[in-house]
């Protein structure tokens, strides 16, 4: 017959509950398994401390076992840790939110190499979210201790009696309610252990098999690890993703404890920059996929793990955002990321350039959102350039030492990618081109549609930078703020005076009217197009091989940006502005032939256009549409009209 030792009521200390428990911590019922397994790991860690201090002489072989009984509808979690006496159950179980872990750490604070997970106090009571009744069977490590059985039906009533557990440790048995029978399924248990307990440093067995990974790579020193170790870890965390570009190992214990590994993934244009991918742990226990309060905003697209026992997980998010330690941890993480980028730039520039298409997004996004990070990486923001520098002309790569005003040359200075494309910083660009166009940067946002404009500038020895990533639209404005005395001009906004052939610009071709070629061509196009919103500009463009086009469409920088901003605010797609400039190249043979064709046209008796005049008008519209096409400025009606006119033009040409 079982001897009842005591009956009574559980003492609930509400003053202990609310300062340390976070409502969302238990928003999912499945969290109970994390709490109970964590308690088991704590119990084993405590026994290990006692063993190292010499108070406990037996060898500790840690193990946590999970078992289910389908018929009895029970789930049990057992550990072979420190166990409890009857008095300890009264103190640590019957008084809700009294955390034995904190008291134990205070007693054995000199053994600080072994972390105790449980700081929650209410972890054990999460079991009542899924169970109608919970039993504890425990045997303390203390010599002469008696096994104890504790049972509670979820009310404040409990029963404490003699138990029959033969071995040191504790078993928690949950009698699941009918709404929570999913926790009897093997696959469900495995999934929860992998999610919450995979990296706990104790084997967690289900049947005879240990189902958790146990090894937390981020707890090791970087000197112990090889590249393949990091890559294997990334593949384990993200099995269906491409391999990362590089990684940052976080490892500090002062002035706060932070461990972790952050990976730079390959990015896609549609990536959600605010969607978190970093897993948050506390002493190897998974807590959340949401780290937005703990790391800088620009690092949320990174992947990997951050583990810290100094992050107050059990308070509100508003408290996290205001917490000084959390802010310092965020600054530390950002600095480590910046240091890693600087290190790669300094030690392996070719690898830095190889990964820049993706790395650049992080660097630019970070610069836009974090002033400290911006200052740290400002000298390592690079852009692909049209510069065609000989190997001997490659500029030296210089990096400023920490806390030093001196600059020094560093290792790999090859600033080209595998295709030979050259990369440069804004500072280098300005220095290289100051004699041609001081304090002005020409840039292109679309290599294909702006190829004509890029070619015009390049053929005249002008260097163009490609700012064609999806973040560069915002980054150009940022650069203008940083370089307030520099003008940033998109290649299709205007043409530099160096592209104009001044010798031909004032050539008079009609002595009777003293009209220049430019004036006559302007009249022809204005009459043919008959669109007042289009400004016709006629200039002879320089070209050594007739590569300059017959016409280009220009959209002033300010007008285009206003259009883009308006579309952004109204959440609409950017429409090509009706008001723009058509620059006609009067030096092009087609335009000169067009002039002759117009001059040779004869007015019809009825006042209509002659065939030559009709053909000249068609050619004018065709030249305009070709220029518009390069800007992707067609709408559906414009494309239809272009197709019909092309057919009509070809028909007339074949009839001549």
Residue ranges of the annotated binding site are 35, 39, 79, 84, 170, 317
Cα(3)–Cα(162) distance, integer angstroms: 6
| DSSP 8-state assignment for residue 309 | S
Residue from 6, 15, 7 nearest 98 by CA: 15
For the chain, report the end-to-end CA distance as a whole number of angstroms. Answer: 119
Integer angstrom CA distances of residue 129 from 35, 37, 195: 12, 16, 19
**C-alpha span between 173 and 164 (Å, rounded):** 14
For the chain, the C-alpha Rg in angstroms (whole number) is 37
Listed residue (267, 436, 252, 237) closest to 359, CA to CA: 267
Q: Provide the β-strand partners of residue 8.
A: 158
Distance CA 379, CA 426 (A): 9
* Residue 376 to residue 341: CA distance in whole angstroms: 10
Sheet containing strand 580-585, strands side by side = 534-539, 580-585, 551-554
**Nearest Cα to 303, choosing from 223, 246, 350, 254?**
246
Q: Give the max Cα distance, the chain.
A: 130
Distance CA 51, CA 60 (A): 8
| Total Cβ atoms within 10 A of residue 320 | 18
- Measured CA distances, 435 to 382, 432, 482, 497 (Å): 21, 8, 22, 14
Q: What is the DSSP letter of 145?
A: -
CA atoms within 13 A on the CB side of 447: 8
Pick out the residues of the known binding site for ATP: 35, 39, 79, 84, 170, 317
Residue 619 burial (CB count, 10 A): 23
Query: DSSP assignment of 225-267, as one string?
Result: --HHHHHHHHHHHSTTSPPPSEEEEEEE-SSS-EEEEEEE---
- Comparing CA positions, the residue from 388, 590, 576 lying closest to residue 492 is 576
Q: How far apart are CA 451 and CA 631, in angstroms?
A: 10
Pairing of strands 464-466, 440-444: parallel
Measured over the CA atoms of residue 174, residue 25, residue 84 and residue 215, the dihedral's sign is positive
What's the rounded Cα separation, in Å, for the pair 620 and 8?
Answer: 99
Contacts 24+ apart (CB under 8 A), 253-256: 255/328, 256/308, 256/310, 256/325, 256/328, 256/329, 256/332
């Amino acid at each position: 017959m079982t001897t009842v030792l005591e009956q009574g009521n559980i003492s609930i200390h509400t003053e202990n509950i609310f300062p340390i428990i976070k409502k969302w911590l238990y928003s999912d019922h499945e969290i109970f398994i994390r709490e109970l397994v964590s308690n088991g790991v704590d119990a084993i860690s405590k026994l290990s401390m006692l063993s190292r201090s010499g108070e406990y002489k037996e060898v500790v072989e840690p193990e946590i076992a999970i078992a289910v009984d389908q018929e009895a509808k029970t789930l049990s979690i057992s550990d072979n840790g420190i166990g409890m006496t009857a008095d300890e159950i009264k103190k640590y179980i019957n008084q809700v939110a009294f955390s034995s872990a904190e008291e134990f750490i205070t007693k054995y604070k000199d053994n600080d190499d072994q972390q105790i997970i449980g700081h929650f106090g209410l972890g054990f009571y999460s079991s009542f979210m899924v169970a109608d009744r919970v039993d504890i069977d425990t045997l303390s490590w203390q010599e002469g201790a008696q096994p104890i059985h504790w049972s509670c039906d979820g009310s404040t009533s409990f029963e404490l009696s003699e138990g029959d557990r033969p071995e040191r440790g504790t078993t928690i048995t949950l009698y699941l309610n009918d709404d929570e029978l999913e926790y009897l399924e093997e696959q469900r248990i495995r999934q929860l252990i992998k999610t919450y307990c995979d990296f706990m440093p104790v084997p967690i067995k289900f049947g005879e098999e240990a189902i958790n990974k146990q090894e937390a790579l981020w707890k090791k020193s970087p000197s112990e690890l090889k590249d393949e170790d990091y890559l294997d870890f990334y593949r384990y965390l993200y099995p269906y993703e491409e391999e990362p570009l590089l990684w940052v190992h976080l490892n500090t214990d002062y002035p706060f404890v932070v461990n972790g590994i952050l990976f730079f993934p390959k990015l896609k244009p549609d990536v959600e920059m605010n969607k978190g991918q970093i897993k948050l742990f506390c002493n190897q226990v998974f807590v959340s996929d949401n780290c937005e309060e703990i790391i800088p905003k620009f690092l949320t697209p990174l992947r990997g793990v951050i583990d810290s026992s100094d992050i107050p997980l059990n308070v509100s998010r508003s408290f996290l955002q205001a917490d000084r330690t959390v802010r310092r941890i965020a600054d530390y993480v950002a600095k480590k990321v910046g240091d890693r980028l600087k290190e790669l730039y300094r030690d392996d520039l070719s690898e830095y350039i190889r990964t820049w298409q993706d790395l650049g997004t992080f660097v630019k996004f970070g610069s836009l959102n974090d002033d400290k990070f911006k200052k740290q990486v400002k000298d390592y923001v690079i852009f692909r350039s049209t510069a065609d520098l000989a190997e001997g002309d490659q500029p030296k790569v210089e990096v400023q030492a920490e806390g030093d005003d001196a600059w020094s040359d560093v290792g790999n200075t090859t600033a080209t990618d595998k295709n030979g494309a050259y990369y440069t910083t804004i500072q280098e660009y300005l220095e290289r081109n100051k004699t041609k166009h001081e304090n002005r940067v020409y840039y292109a946002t679309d290599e294909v549609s702006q190829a004509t404009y890029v070619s015009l500038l390049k053929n005249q020895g002008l260097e163009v930078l490609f700012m064609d990533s999806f973040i560069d639209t915002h980054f150009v404005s940022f650069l203008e703020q940083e370089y307030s005395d520099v003008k940033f001009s998109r290649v299709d906004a205007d043409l530099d005076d160096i592209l104009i052939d001044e010798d031909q610009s004032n050539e008079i071709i009609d002595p009777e009217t003293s009209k220049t070629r430019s004036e006559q061509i302007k009249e022809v196009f204005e009459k043919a197009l008959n669109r007042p919103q289009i400004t016709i500009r006629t200039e002879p463009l320089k070209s050594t091989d007739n590569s300059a086009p017959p016409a280009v469409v220009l959209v002033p920088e300010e007008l285009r940006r206003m259009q883009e901003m308006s579309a952004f605010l109204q959440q609409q797609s950017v429409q090509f502005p009706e008001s723009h400039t058509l620059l006609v190249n009067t030096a092009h043979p087609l335009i000169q032939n067009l002039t002759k064709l117009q001059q040779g046209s004869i007015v019809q008796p009825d006042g209509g256009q002659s065939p030559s005049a009709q053909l000249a008008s068609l050619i004018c519209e065709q030249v305009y549409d070709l220029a518009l096409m390069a800007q992707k400025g067609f709408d559906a009606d414009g494309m239809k009209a272009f197709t019909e006119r092309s057919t009509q033009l070809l028909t007339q040409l074949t009839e001549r």
